[in-house]
Structure 1
């Protein structure tokens, strides 16, 4: 009886295979996964969010491409490059804001990156205090900051022959508005601080720095060849936040009577055509989306390099 027991399981499985309509047994590694309970609501929420965000953009694009006779025309986008705001055209305003954005990004990273390294390596106890200080630009509205700058400029202007007045006048000049970049650096501090802090917390900074220093690397080598490659995503995200802030900030530049920045040019666009104004808005949104895709491509390439 015991010798026939091993054949019982084989006979049962064979009989099961011969019964018509019986599905074949599925190996354990190839079992079908049932959809999770929360996957359907998740896709519904994502679909509604996509309609909410992409729907107005599609409507704006269709409005800018609509012709009077019901066809498709790109005349609204052509008028962008032909329309001027006084002596400023579209290209001048865009290049002007891009220069301010580059200066803002460089100055912000030069200030915040060494500060973050010192907080993580040498002075971790004062990190909370520095974080509170970086939150101050979010507490005070930009209009308050601009009023303070105007008061300082009026106070310095009382002595027009002083060197301080010459420096302030140079910083506030129309051709080189460095004062806008300095103000945007202050506004970007809360976002850049947290972006870099998240990147530094994701890696073991102390171990990397100690290993590089033990191998004879200097601080410049440690910063540019050890830490920056690990912080590339954080630096790119911080740069994008600064860029978005500069390209969308209107209050400071308008109160300081600048007419060349792109947001001010867009607000003072001398046209009564709604299609042209919508085309400028769509063009600026597409520019930001292009930058987002570039950041995503850089991050995706980094992930592929790690897997390789």
Structure 2
């Protein structure tokens, strides 16, 4: 086999391998929201009237009144190890002027999380607060917190399960909360962009902070508890972002929901795809020239 044919064979194989990897990495991505489909000038009303992103069955909805809007001046990116997430030009900015505000979204097709199903749900997102913005301790009785929750759109699920950024004693900390019992992890720092991955399965919830690869590894903090049973957990299809007890400012972006860690982490870049196609094209050109000489 000539070196030219060998190059052509390798490039074709590389392209097929990349395409296979690209397709498989998207196969289980349930839903995605990057907030690029909303006009910042339309505010929250634009988000509740437009079904942006992919995989969702409806637009955002809000529970109780609150403040927040798609912002073109607060875009956030994340880079750590082999993970590079471009947050684009727009993110969601919460002004959090209500003490119990939910931003909700339902995707198409629920996931059974009941005991014995063997299933898990994952969500990843970018999150940030900034120096000088509101991060209150609470109302004097209860500490303030930001929370992410999975639930069913057709059921009244408890909000006692999720990932929390909560004020504890003297600072804000990340927590994993399961059946209203929270396990406290590391503190959070203003201005740092966090990549947060939450995993919910029957019996436990896990929090992964700032991953640097698509390998799940050990969670940052986990909370275990009773098994999930009944119709509240057999078709989970909704995610909610909650601000509770006091106003708080935070940004969120690049929301991905899937059934494995890699589903919500792997983000194939167009540049990589173009590079492989370019290499394939080069191999074909060399082969043609060799054949015609």
Common fold: TM-score over 0.5: no
Is the helix fraction higher in 1 or 2? 1
TM class by shorter chain equals under 0.3
Larger radius of gyration: 1
- Structure 1 length normalisation: TM-score? 0.21
- Structure 2 length normalisation: TM-score? 0.22
Is the strand fraction higher in 1 or 2? 2
